[in-house]
Each structure stands twice: as C-alpha cells, then as structure tokens.
Amino acid sequence: MAAGRIPLVDYLVLDEEPHLEANECRNCRARFFDRRNACARCSGTDFCRVPLTREGEVRAFTIVSMAAPGVPVPFVSAIVDCDGTSVRGNLLGVEPSPEHVRTGMKVQLTTYSMGTDRLGVEGIGYGFEPIAGPGHP
C-alpha cells in the first residue's frame, strides 16, 4: 500500500481546498452527514452530495474537561452553522475558556494530522479555527 492521506470521516473531502460534503434531500433540501434511506424531514428518498461553505458561525459550545484516556483536555466542542447546515466539530487554535470563545464567533474549517500509521498512511481530522482579521478578534 502506498503512503497517503485518509479523512477521519467520509464527509471530509481532502483536495486542494479541503471541505465537508453533506447528503442533501432533493425534495426538501434537508442535509445530513450520514447515509439515509429516507429524509427525516419529508421522507424523500433521493439525495445528492453538496459541498458546504468552509466558513461558519459558532451557535453553541461547551468546554470539555473530562474525556477518554489519552485525549488531552480541556478542549472546545462546538456546533457551527455553515450557511444553514449545523456541523459539530472542535474549535482549534483558541484558548478553551469562556473569555476566548463566544456564540456568534466567526470560524473557518481547518484540517490537522491525527498521526501516521506504520505503512505511512496519515489520518486527517477536521475542526474549526477563529477567523482573524478586522472585526474578528
């Protein structure tokens, strides 16, 4: 097997500009990350894959202080609104404290290495990082 990169989840697309994709109901436009036999909103059965915007806004968050062994804590787990689609992910590059995270915070998708196995295959995860710049502390 040749060395390469694989995404942690099948809805993370690793290309020049990594992004997430959702399954969208062709009838009502509801979006889901997992495979569906029928839409939970309208019972439609026809879906297509759609790319999500890489930018979003934090709608809710929690600071996790206890996790499985080997998982460094604390960290920030958030629900991010990506142009109407709710995405769960960790916030990266931000101090895990209420003084540094807020709802309404503008964030963008980022990827990171989760490690490389003995065959040289690198696992890639995703999260969101604050958008820096004017109006974005």
43-94 per-position pLDDT tens digit:
999 999 999 999 999 999 999 999 999 889 999 999 999 999 999 999 999 9
Please report which confidence band the pLDDT of residue 132 belongs to, taking 50, 70 and 90 as the band edges.
confident
User: If you write DSSP's letter for every residue of the chain in order, what string do you get?
Assistant: ---EEEESSTTEE-SSS-EEEEEEETTT--EESS--SS-TTT----EEEEEPPSEEEEEEEEEE---STT--S-EEEEEEEETTEEEEEEE-SS-SSTTT--TT-EEEEEEEEEEE-TTSEEEEEEEEEEPPBTTB-
